[in-house]
Amino acid sequence: MSTNTIEHNRRRQDFSGVESIWLFGYGSLIYKVDFPFLEKHPASINGWARRFWQGSHDHRGTPDAPGRVVTLIEQPGAICKGMAFRVSPNVFEHLDVREKNGYLRFSTTLTFESGNHAEGLVYIATEDNEAFLGHAPDADIARQIAQAVGPSGPNSEYLFRLAESLRTLGDECTHTFAIEAALKKNG
């Protein structure tokens, strides 16, 4: 699958007659909210783990020196905390471009802190996209993040802002925090 997923995403869901839909953010969508929303609430999704396994050629790196950003990997029993935004479907015109580097929109069940559930959408970069980098030791990921810079800024800024946002949400994302610690130790 090509890394540019804009048109693919626009064919994935039919928003005819839909006034609003929930969107789950687990990476930069938590802290870089550059889209209008109707409401937002902390939420989680089950069975998914956040991992710095997706290459960023367009935001936090370049085609020659990609950065690393998060995607979700299926993991039974895992709980991924993030932020849920209720948005108008026209927001996806912008978000499909922002998330074009290998991310596809999938349906998911969100669980809010209240215990209530709702159906929504989440962007996931699957392993069959050309920008997928996959697993690497934490120190190697940290080293790549330390060196990568793209049009949206240093890859390290993405990591640090995400880690700060996850702490604010009360998420114990050991993967993110281990990479942050490795970057601070060797950076």
> What are 93-114's pLDDT values in tens digits?
999 989 998 999 999 999 999 9
* Residues 142-149, mean pLDDT to the nearest whole number: 96
Evaluate whether residue 1 is within a structural domain: no
Residue 100 and residue 2: Cα distance in Å, rounded?
A: 10
> Of 35-44, 95-104, 147-156, which gets the smallest average pLDDT?
95-104
Domain of residue 116, residue span: 6-186
Tokens encoding 17: 């007659």
145 belongs to a structural domain: yes
Does residue 67 lie within any of the structural domains? Answer: yes
Pairing of strands 21-25, 117-125: parallel
Choice among 15-19, 26-30, 130-134, 156-160 with the minimum mean pLDDT: 15-19
**Is the pLDDT assigned to residue 1 strictly greater than 60?**
no
Tell me the catalytic residues: 99
Split into its structural domains, the chain has a count of: 1
The answer to whether residue 75 is domain-embedded is: yes
Within-domain flag for 51: yes
CATH number of the structural domain spanning residue 160: 3.10.490.10
